[in-house]
């Protein structure tokens, strides 16, 4: 399975264009999955965005995804086609990956949980701190201060980053909120490409 990080929804259209051209040159691409944060958008709003990009790139108004997990066949040229489906990371219909990570934490999180007080202090000083940024900071504090110990904190860029955290037992990967994402990922075979 190949995974390409898009860096957000803003890069999706160009990535689909690159994917189309890559598929024409490399017929090994059979299935592609798009994984995006749902954020504060509805599923329908997300699907509308993706369908618009698909129609622009593949010039076929009959090809639309009506629900997550649903595969459609896209034709890159007369000799090349592949299947595409999407999934929106969410917790109870909204949110993003960081919401999921906060939900599946398996260790106590006193440092990360106290960030709310810091944000309240900023508000009292007329400083604005976005809710989305607070969530990202919560994950970063949880990893660095609640799950890393001693000297590891001094080497946070190697020992207390997300890559290192995924190898530690600080997340409950059996949590039920991951079931839908797991089901989506299981629908792919080895030759799958995932855009996230």
Q: What is the mean pLDDT of each run of 10 residues along the chain (196 residues)?
A: 82 92 86 93 95 92 90 91 95 93 96 94 91 93 92 84 90 96 86 58
Give a yes or no: residue 116 inside a domain: yes
Give a yes or no: residue 68 inside a domain: yes
User: Which pTM does this prediction carry?
Assistant: 0.85
- Looking at residue 155, its pLDDT comes to 83
Which domain, by its residues, includes 63?
2-93+178-195
82 and 11 in a single domain? The answer is yes
SS3 40: coil
115 and 56 in a single domain? The answer is no
Helices and strands: H and E segment counts in the chain? 9, 5
28 and 84 in a single domain? The answer is yes
List of residues 6+ apart from 58 with CB closer than 8 A: 20, 74, 75, 76
- Give the orientation angle of helix 131-141 with respect to helix 115-124, to 10 degrees: 140
14 and 71 in a single domain? The answer is yes
134 and 185 in a single domain? The answer is no
- Looking at residue 194, its pLDDT comes to 60
Give a yes or no: residue 117 inside a domain: yes
- Other CB atoms within 10 Å distance of the CB of residue 22: 16
């Amino acid at each position: 399975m190949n995974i390409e990080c898009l860096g957000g929804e803003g890069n999706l259209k160009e990535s689909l264009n690159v994917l189309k051209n890559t598929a024409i040159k490399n017929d090994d691409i059979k299935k592609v999955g798009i994984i995006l944060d749902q954020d504060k958008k509805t599923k329908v709003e997300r699907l509308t965005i993706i369908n618009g990009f698909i129609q622009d790139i593949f010039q076929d108004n009959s090809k639309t995804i009506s629900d997550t997990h649903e595969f459609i066949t896209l034709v890159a040229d007369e000799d090349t086609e592949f299947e595409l489906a999407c999934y929106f990371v969410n917790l109870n219909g909204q949110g993003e990956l960081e919401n999921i990570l906060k939900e599946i934490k398996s260790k106590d999180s006193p440092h990360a949980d106290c960030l709310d007080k810091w944000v309240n202090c900023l508000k009292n000083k007329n400083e604005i701190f976005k809710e989305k940024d607070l969530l990202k900071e919560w994950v970063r504090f949880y990893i660095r201060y609640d799950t890393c110990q001693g000297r590891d904190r001094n080497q946070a860029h190697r020992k207390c980053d997300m890559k290192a955290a995924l190898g530690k037992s600080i997340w409950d990967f059996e949590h039920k909120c991951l079931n839908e994402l797991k089901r989506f990922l299981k629908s792919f075979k080895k030759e799958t490409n995932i855009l996230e």
